[in-house]
């Protein structure tokens, strides 16, 4: 079911390093708040903050989709206020953009000085919501991806690379 990686651990490390360098340049002289969207983005976020050479703070937010998949609810909120902060929201995959649109809207309501989106994987061909992505590691085709923190039924998060999985969740 899982074959050759779409992106091996070296390719991932190279992209994370490049994004970390870009964030360090873009936020020089600032201390951004890096917000991870739990839980699949945790691995990416952990590597990303180690690739950033400026001080930053970290927090997490979690949302849950329910019903027919159209409903979204906040499951875990941030522990710190956003007023006047430079926020970088880190997600694992931007697909339709609907979940991210919900989260971005909620975060913007809290008055950050700036809000940028960073994603490990991007599927722009599936986008429904208009989402601006400032930092992206990889653009992927219409395949279900596991590894490097992404799972299928709780499995495969531990894999060091990103793999196409043969099954889309129901």
Active-site residue identified among 47, 91, 92, 95: 95
For tokens 């208009």, the residue is 130
Tell me, yes or no, if 151 is annotated catalytic: no
Q: What is the DSSP string of 16-77?
A: HHHHHHHHHHHTTT--PEEEEETTTTHHHHHHHHHH--S--EEEEEEEEEETTTTEEEEEE-
- Give the residue from 137, 141, 131 showing the smallest Cα distance to 149: 137
Distance CA 61, CA 39 (A): 9
- Interatomic CA distance for residues 17 and 15, integer angstroms: 5
- CA pair distance 115, 108, nearest whole angstrom: 7
C-alpha dihedral (47, 159, 15, 38), degrees to nearest 10: -50
Catalytically active residues, by annotation: 95
């Amino acid at each position: 079911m899982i074959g050759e990686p779409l992106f091996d651990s070296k390719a991932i490390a190279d992209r994370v390093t490049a994004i970390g360098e870009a964030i360090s340049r873009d936020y020089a002289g600032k201390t951004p708040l890096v917000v991870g969207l739990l839980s699949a983005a945790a691995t990416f976020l952990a590597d990303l903050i180690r690739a950033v050479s400026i001080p930053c703070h970290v927090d997490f937010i979690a949302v849950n989709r329910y019903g027919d998949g159209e409903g979204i609810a906040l499951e875990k909120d941030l522990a710190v206020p956003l007023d006047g902060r430079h926020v970088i929201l880190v997600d694992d995959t931007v697909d339709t953009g609907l979940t991210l649109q919900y989260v971005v809207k909620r975060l913007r309501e809290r008055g950050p000085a700036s809000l940028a989106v960073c994603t490990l994987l991007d599927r722009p061909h599936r986008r429904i919501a208009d989402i601006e992505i400032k930092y992206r590691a990889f653009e992927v085709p219409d395949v279900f991806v596991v590894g490097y923190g992404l799972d299928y039924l709780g499995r495969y998060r531990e894999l060091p690379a990103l793999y196409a999985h043969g099954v889309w969740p129901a």
